[in-house]
Chains A and B, each alone.
Chain A
Amino acid sequence: MVIAENLVKEFIKTEKEGRKTVKTKFRAVNGISLTALEGKTIGILGPNGAGKTTLLRMIATMMEPTEGRVIHTDENGQPIDDIVKIKSNMGYMSNNTKLYEKFTVREMLTLMGEIYGFTDDYTQERIDVIVKRLNLSEFIDNRIKSLSTGQTQRVSIARCLFADPGLYILDEPTLGLDIMSAAAIVDFMEEEKAAGKTIIYSTHYLEEAERLCDKVVLINRGRVIAEDSPAGLCAATGRDTLRTAFLKCIEDDEMKDRE
């Protein structure tokens, strides 16, 4: 289970106000709380610049929140204090998690095994499982640099699920991918969800979110503006798709702000 309590992240932003360059403190995330229950899939939705990436980085313990805290609990509900332990049970993927191009796929996965502290036998076992599952066998000994985009995407998924983590944090994983690669990601998420893993992910593709998520969290300008199951959200806004419900929520929020 992951609990985020009143998260705030402040950045220094340099902006031009007319002729002046002004440094202002700017809250990318402004008091967000959310809970991801074990085995549930949560979708973080919001326009660009809403604070999705910052929020996910904080939940993934890669960024220190300015205020508030993130609690990861183990299977017994006890909080885990050690960041390294949290990370070893977490698969994180975003547009910025590129692979080591100079390594072959096998070297990359072996390195992962070493980093996660697996025994050689277990590493080999994981590699076998993953190669079979993601169909990597043709290019397992090729350098990652020489792979096609689709193949690289599959290796990226392999990296993410290598340690068989209980929690996935995915930052717009399907952004900018062709239909095949995006489908591979969605398949992978569905399989992991079926295996009882917790998934927190952000996306712009609302149909995808509607299908996958148990709960969606709408954020705008660093704040949560709605939080419900996709069906619940549709019902509450009186729209019939998540897309229209999303637009309604954002519109309402902008209206509220103007008043």
Chain B
Amino acid sequence: MNFDKIKIIYKKEIRELIRDKKMMFMMFALPLLIYPLLIILVASIVISFMTSFESKEYRVALSDNITDERMIEAIFADAAEAGPDDETVVLSENALVRNGSDEAGADADAESDAGSYFFTRVNISSDYETAIADSKINVYISYDEMNDEYSVYYNDSDSDSDHAADYISERLNGYKTTLIHERFDAAGIDYDAYNNPITYRMVDLASGEESVGNILGMIVPLLLMMGVMLGTMNAAADVTTGEKERGTQETLMTFPLSGRELLFGKFLAVATCGIVSALLYLISVGILGGFMYVVLEQAGNASVSISSFLPSIIVTVITVMIYSLFLSAVLMCVCSFAKSNKEASSYLSPIMTVTMLVSYAGYLDIGLNLKLSIVPVLNIVLLIKSVMTFEYDVASIVLVLLSNALYAVVAIMILGKMYTSERVLFGESGGSLLERNSKREKNSTPSYGDGILVLLISLVLYVYVGTLLQLKMPIMGLGAIQLIFVAVVIFAVWYGKVDHVHTLSLRKVSIPRLIGSLMTGMGAYIIGNLLLIPAQMIFSESAFKYGNSVTNIMSDQSFLVCLLVIAVSPAIGEELLFRGYLLGSLKNKIKPVWVILITAVIFGAYHMNIVQGIYAFVLGCILGIVIYLTGSIFCTMLMHFACNAISVCVSFYPDTMLKIMPMFSDDATGGTYALFAIIGLVFLAVGFALLGVFSKKKLSA
């Protein structure tokens, strides 16, 4: 490897990046202009809010039976002249100014930065609820003579009403304190001796630096991680997929350079972008910090020595450099899978999201310990946080730096492997559901990416829409969820121009096979439930939950409705999703054994309950085998229906069913279990025989 050559490539990449306007905007304009401007703008808005001294008027209505004049006076502090409106009587104004010395004044002082306020008494004609809702009044106070209790009505969602209620509460408290004082005085007792038996105050020993460091520990990691991410992300895509997109990849390969020289040159260029971008963010924070410092200094509040942050800053810069190397290698690895910049950015965005989420760890109360020092990304955040708050220990710092250096080396090695691979350099990648509809070929098979996407969309809808539906209509909601699956699958098939007959295994079946499916279904039910017995013993809690949820659903429903909702609809919806689209997207790509296992595991996990999940896994395996045997989803639908239908029967006619299947009664013996295991297996065997497993026919699907 020749370092001069690496340097040449490095220079070439940097020059190309510098001439990319979008890149330069992201690198310089964002941290140096937009963010500081934005922060200053927000800060000045907040400050202007806080310093607005325009007094606020709140309108208060009292019920007629409130006759305590002193209380009314306490609320409306001092009466002022009448307002412009005839029906309003302005009774109060600026408490801050009037009551500077007494209790209420002290309260008002505390509130002074929120601006001053006064209450106006209003008589209302309508009822108080509508008056508050229409903002005619902010607060209504009523008095219950029976219990000698006042009620303050307000609307929490209306900020004026909410504030007014807070102030009312303060004034009522003030009035209460006054009354207590009076009663103590009347009884001749010293109030303070009773109410303040001890006095204490809180003294904050944190130095100015520590307080500032605490804030920096939250903000700095976040900004630096963002800086490194944004810098490396664009650069990584540009030097890999950008080169392909501009058609210069092959040109580059004709040059007398080894793959490694190329790679290192590019890699260092990306890392440089990350470091520069991060430093720009740091400078940006620095300028902002300096700006605030000057403001504070003028206000006479500054007691922070900037030089004490110097070691922290040095450690931070070193850390960011190493992190930048690591992230560059990782992002370049990811980008080398992509064919175009667009594709690259869709691969990068999840990484970015995760990294940015982890960057918020600075806000959490987690310190850096030896275990956490080896967690990538998180360790960087915590390290920067710890050095900013002066709470570092050298061992952790060394460990973080070493582990990140190690990760960087590993990532570079992987990158080296990938970057020289011809598949990556000349390769083409397959289509996906995100591809434009018009580009798709007709009658394609979905890729596994499509399968997973459809599954995820279905599950998200299942969780959100399904839960809502179930709240609205407990029993029909269950059926509606299955309709969602059907709808999603149909949409995916239509949008993806998928060969639906093949993918969803929509193949006609003969009568013997249908009977075989029913038999297999019953066999699967028996075997699955026998397997559940030990599982129920181990996970007793979740068995209980399962039992409960089933009985809850069943109660008050007719047998037919339950059969429809629990047996028929899942047989259609779940089968179309799991054995149809998902399995269809996997088959012919990986070995059948794996397809069956993967779909069964997902099917099990989908039930979100251990016991039910195990049962679903067993069932899923058998269903998977059946669809491979018959190539028809109607068989598995019928099987699924058979299983669920037996469950419904068991819930509705437990006594009859227990007679038929004594293994589920509490006093079942080992013999019964064995007998039913055999019966189950016989059912399965006969079922499979009818399905054609023993015939010489080639496996379809």
- Taken residue by residue from 234 to 258, chain A's Cβ proximity to chain B (1 for < 8 Å, 0 otherwise) reads as 0000000000000000000000000
- Closest Cβ of chain B: how far from A89's Cβ, in Å? 8
Whether A116 touches B256, Cβ cut-off 8 Å, given contacts A98-B248, A111-B8, is yes
Whether A115 touches B8, Cβ cut-off 8 Å, given contacts A63-B426, A102-B20, A103-B15, is yes
Chain B residues with CB under 8 Å of A229's CB are: none
Whether A19 and B502, one on each chain, are in contact in the complex, defined by CB atoms closer than 8 angstroms, is yes
Whether B248 and A100, one on each chain, are in contact in the complex, defined by CB atoms closer than 8 angstroms, is yes
CA distance A115 to B8 in the complex (A): 7
What are 9 of the A-B contact pairs (CB < 8 Å)? A19-B499, A21-B589, A88-B256, A92-B250, A97-B247, A98-B251, A103-B16, A114-B8, A117-B5
Flag whether A101 is at the interface (Cβ < 8 A).
yes
Flag whether B653 is at the interface (Cβ < 8 A).
no
Whether A102 and B19, one on each chain, are in contact in the complex, defined by CB atoms closer than 8 angstroms, is yes
B250 contacts which of A20, A96, A112, A117 (Cβ < 8 Å)? A96
Flag whether A94 is at the interface (Cβ < 8 A).
yes
- Taken residue by residue from 564 to 583, chain B's Cβ proximity to chain A (1 for < 8 Å, 0 otherwise) reads as 00000000000000000000
Whether A63 and B422, one on each chain, are in contact in the complex, defined by CB atoms closer than 8 angstroms, is yes
Nearest chain A residue, comparing its CB with the CB of B245:
A98
Q: For residues 1 through 41 of chain B, which have their beta carbon under 8 Å from a beta carbon of chain A?
A: 4-5, 8, 12, 15-16, 19-20
CA distance A92 to B250 in the complex (A): 9
CA distance A158 to B458 in the complex (A): 57
Flag whether B671 is at the interface (Cβ < 8 A).
no
Flag whether A159 is at the interface (Cβ < 8 A).
yes
Chain A residues with CB under 8 Å of B588's CB are: 20-22
Q: A102-B16, A115-B8 are in contact. List 19 more A-B contacts (CB 8 A).
A: A19-B443, A62-B254, A64-B422, A84-B258, A87-B255, A87-B256, A87-B257, A92-B250, A92-B254, A94-B250, A96-B247, A96-B249, A97-B247, A97-B248, A97-B250, A99-B248, A102-B19, A103-B15, A117-B256
Chain A residues with CB under 8 Å of B256's CB are: 84-88, 115-117
Chain A interface residues (CB < 8 Å from chain B): 14, 19-22, 60, 62-64, 83-88, 90-92, 94, 96-103, 107, 111-112, 114-117, 159
CA distance A226 to B12 in the complex (A): 44
Whether B5 and A115, one on each chain, are in contact in the complex, defined by CB atoms closer than 8 angstroms, is yes
Flag whether B246 is at the interface (Cβ < 8 A).
yes
Whether A60 and B254, one on each chain, are in contact in the complex, defined by CB atoms closer than 8 angstroms, is yes
- Closest Cβ of chain B: how far from A49's Cβ, in Å? 15
Nearest chain B residue, comparing its CB with the CB of A19:
B502
B246 contacts which of A20, A22, A98 (Cβ < 8 Å)? A98
B254 contacts which of A14, A64, A87 (Cβ < 8 Å)? A87
Flag whether B445 is at the interface (Cβ < 8 A).
yes
Whether B16 and A100, one on each chain, are in contact in the complex, defined by CB atoms closer than 8 angstroms, is yes
Q: How many residues of B contact A (CB 8 A)?
A: 30
Whether A21 and B445, one on each chain, are in contact in the complex, defined by CB atoms closer than 8 angstroms, is yes
Flag whether B84 is at the interface (Cβ < 8 A).
no
Whether A115 and B255, one on each chain, are in contact in the complex, defined by CB atoms closer than 8 angstroms, is yes
CA distance A19 to B118 in the complex (A): 79
- Closest Cβ of chain B: how far from A176's Cβ, in Å? 14
- Taken residue by residue from 247 to 267, chain B's Cβ proximity to chain A (1 for < 8 Å, 0 otherwise) reads as 111110111111000000000
CA distance A91 to B5 in the complex (A): 19
Flag whether B670 is at the interface (Cβ < 8 A).
no
Chain A residues with CB under 8 Å of B445's CB are: 19, 21
CA distance A97 to B252 in the complex (A): 8
CA distance A21 to B447 in the complex (A): 11
- Closest Cβ of chain B: how far from A114's Cβ, in Å? 5
- Closest Cβ of chain B: how far from A96's Cβ, in Å? 4
Whether B246 and A101, one on each chain, are in contact in the complex, defined by CB atoms closer than 8 angstroms, is yes
Nearest chain A residue, comparing its CB with the CB of B16:
A102
Nearest chain A residue, comparing its CB with the CB of B19:
A102
Flag whether B430 is at the interface (Cβ < 8 A).
yes
Whether A159 touches B251, Cβ cut-off 8 Å, given contacts A19-B502, A84-B258, A115-B5, is yes
Chain A residues with CB under 8 Å of B251's CB are: 96-100, 159
Nearest chain B residue, comparing its CB with the CB of A114:
B8
Chain A residues with CB under 8 Å of B249's CB are: 96
CA distance A177 to B14 in the complex (A): 32
- Closest Cβ of chain A: how far from B591's Cβ, in Å? 13
Whether A62 touches B253, Cβ cut-off 8 Å, given contacts A83-B258, A98-B248, is yes
- Closest Cβ of chain B: how far from A43's Cβ, in Å? 20
Whether A62 and B257, one on each chain, are in contact in the complex, defined by CB atoms closer than 8 angstroms, is no
Chain B residues with CB under 8 Å of A64's CB are: 422
CA distance A101 to B246 in the complex (A): 8
Chain B residues with CB under 8 Å of A21's CB are: 445, 588-589
Taking each of A83, A87, A115, which has the highest tally of chain B beta carbons within 10 Å of its own beta carbon?
Answer: A115
CA distance A83 to B251 in the complex (A): 15
CA distance A96 to B244 in the complex (A): 10
Chain A residues with CB under 8 Å of B12's CB are: 100, 111
CA distance A111 to B14 in the complex (A): 13
- Closest Cβ of chain A: how far from B246's Cβ, in Å? 6
CA distance A159 to B250 in the complex (A): 13
Chain A residues with CB under 8 Å of B20's CB are: 102
Chain B residues with CB under 8 Å of A98's CB are: 246-248, 251
Nearest chain B residue, comparing its CB with the CB of A102:
B19
- Closest Cβ of chain A: how far from B615's Cβ, in Å? 33
8 nearest CB pairs, A to B: A98-B247, A88-B256, A92-B254, A87-B256, A97-B251, A102-B19, A96-B250, A19-B502
- Closest Cβ of chain B: how far from A86's Cβ, in Å? 8
- Taken residue by residue from 194 to 214, chain B's Cβ proximity to chain A (1 for < 8 Å, 0 otherwise) reads as 000000000000000000000
Chain B residues with CB under 8 Å of A90's CB are: 254
CA distance A21 to B450 in the complex (A): 15
Nearest chain A residue, comparing its CB with the CB of B18:
A102
CA distance A129 to B206 in the complex (A): 73
Q: For residues 428 through 445 of chain B, which have their beta carbon under 8 Å from a beta carbon of chain A?
A: 430, 443, 445
- Taken residue by residue from 223 to 236, chain B's Cβ proximity to chain A (1 for < 8 Å, 0 otherwise) reads as 00000000000000
CA distance A83 to B420 in the complex (A): 14
Chain B residues with CB under 8 Å of A94's CB are: 250
CA distance A116 to B5 in the complex (A): 9
CA distance A232 to B16 in the complex (A): 50
Chain A residues with CB under 8 Å of B255's CB are: 87, 112, 115-116
CA distance A103 to B248 in the complex (A): 12
CA distance A100 to B5 in the complex (A): 18
CA distance A178 to B115 in the complex (A): 77
A14 contacts which of B5, B430, B501 (Cβ < 8 Å)? B430
CA distance A106 to B5 in the complex (A): 19
Taking each of A85, A86, A96, which has the highest tally of chain B beta carbons within 10 Å of its own beta carbon?
Answer: A96
Chain B residues with CB under 8 Å of A20's CB are: 588
Chain A residues with CB under 8 Å of B422's CB are: 63-64
Nearest chain B residue, comparing its CB with the CB of A83:
B258
CA distance A177 to B148 in the complex (A): 99
Chain B residues with CB under 8 Å of A63's CB are: 422, 426
CA distance A4 to B92 in the complex (A): 102
Chain A residues with CB under 8 Å of B250's CB are: 62, 92, 94, 96-97
